[in-house]
Structure 1
Amino acid sequence: MNNETIKILIADDEARMRALVRDYLRVKGYQVLEAENGAEALSVFEREPDIALVLLDVMMPELDGFETLKELRRISEVPVLMLTARSEERDELRGFSLGADEYIAKPFSPKVLMARVEAVLKRTAANPEGIVLETAGIRLDERAHEVSVDGKNIDLSFKEFELLRYFLENKGIALSREKILNHVWNYDYFGDARTIDTHVKKLRAKMGEKGAYIRTIWGMGYKFEPEEA
């Protein structure tokens, strides 16, 4: 699919922000539609149901981003990238629980946003129904953004979710910290690769006994080795 055939809806009450994002999207060849509040975004989507991606600001009048997403999910599974000036983990979890596909905090680099847009479009094109990964009682549902261990749901932050998905996709493979950083944090992180250790520690704790399946490879990184039933 050529970019010229892809429609993206921007819903943000700040005209300046819409213009900035619109210009970058158009440079990439995408068709761009705009809405200045949640109610207008829903109206635009009803008129243009072939929209491929929605960029949805959280803080908007009439209907905020969360309420707009809730209503949108009643009629469509279109990919949604949430834009927010707040970066609290509880807001991320709320967005994902309502069906958001990605989350990006303001202020952001336009290049980072474009990378996120392209990643979401590529992922949904390859997996239009979303993917479900399961092994040894661990189940990860990408579309619902849910993880369960032995049937019990666990709440993960966005990076913990992405980290677990990367482990599940590379079962039995030793992964260096640098490789994990490149695939999970990629374009939006600059800093010490040891941040991975902190996220792995939290992920293991949330997974209970099965957190032990994430094994440390001393001096290198980690390997996900589940004990299959």
Structure 2
Amino acid sequence: MLTVQQLTGQTDSHVVCNEICRPSVRLQAPVFAAYSAMHSAAAEAGLALGIASGFRDFDRQLAIWNRKFSGAAPLYTIDGAQLDYSSLAVGEIVEAIMTWSALPGASRHHWGTDLDVYDPRPFAAGEQTLQLVPEEYDEGGPCHELALWLQRHAQDFGFFFPYRQYRGGVAAEPWHLSYRNLAALAQEQLSLEVLQQALSDADLAGKEYVLACLQELKERYVDTICGANAEEEDNGWVFG
């Protein structure tokens, strides 16, 4: 079980590095063990598997949030169209951010259980830059073959896609894998009260609105995920 500080990304004492990845990528040790087995299986299938992002701390998530809230970074619709920041009300800004980026303290990347994966080979020469957009994982995209393999095999290693489909909250993320058992425990721990406490002293842009609407925002963007067993879902894989 994680401490509140670990759960909300305010410490990194629960995550470690592993020689299979660059030092900046950190996860819980059992997650790395499962990833290593999946990495080997992918290699045996003739595929390359890499981690673009693992643990992300509270301050990093806060910086992303504040840049987007201030208009210093672009905001997008669920379809990927850029929004006109100057025309948006506070609530619309918050919803646009949370469609693509987590609220600080509520990111699954704080837990050390979640990772963004990709095929590193098409990007090795530097001619392409990984954007982590659905088109890269769709048919014809540089990570499509890997995405198909992960759809079939990720669950064999204890992983699932929490944002396999758009469910009215976070956009579909075909790159985002979660280690099922440990992530489920963390999600149970992340109560409304824990999240309120994490945000209360933070220099969060739009904090007054966020705290006033936190229960609704948490239900829509934090609690609403796809089930761990894709076969139990109704509508298959929807990554576009």
TM-score of the aligned structures, taking structure 2 as reference length: 0.23
Determine which structure has more spread, i.e. the larger CA radius of gyration: 1
Greater strand fraction, Structure 1 or Structure 2: 1
Which protein has greater RCO, CA pairs closer than 8 Å, 6+ apart? 2
TM-score of the aligned structures, taking structure 1 as reference length: 0.24
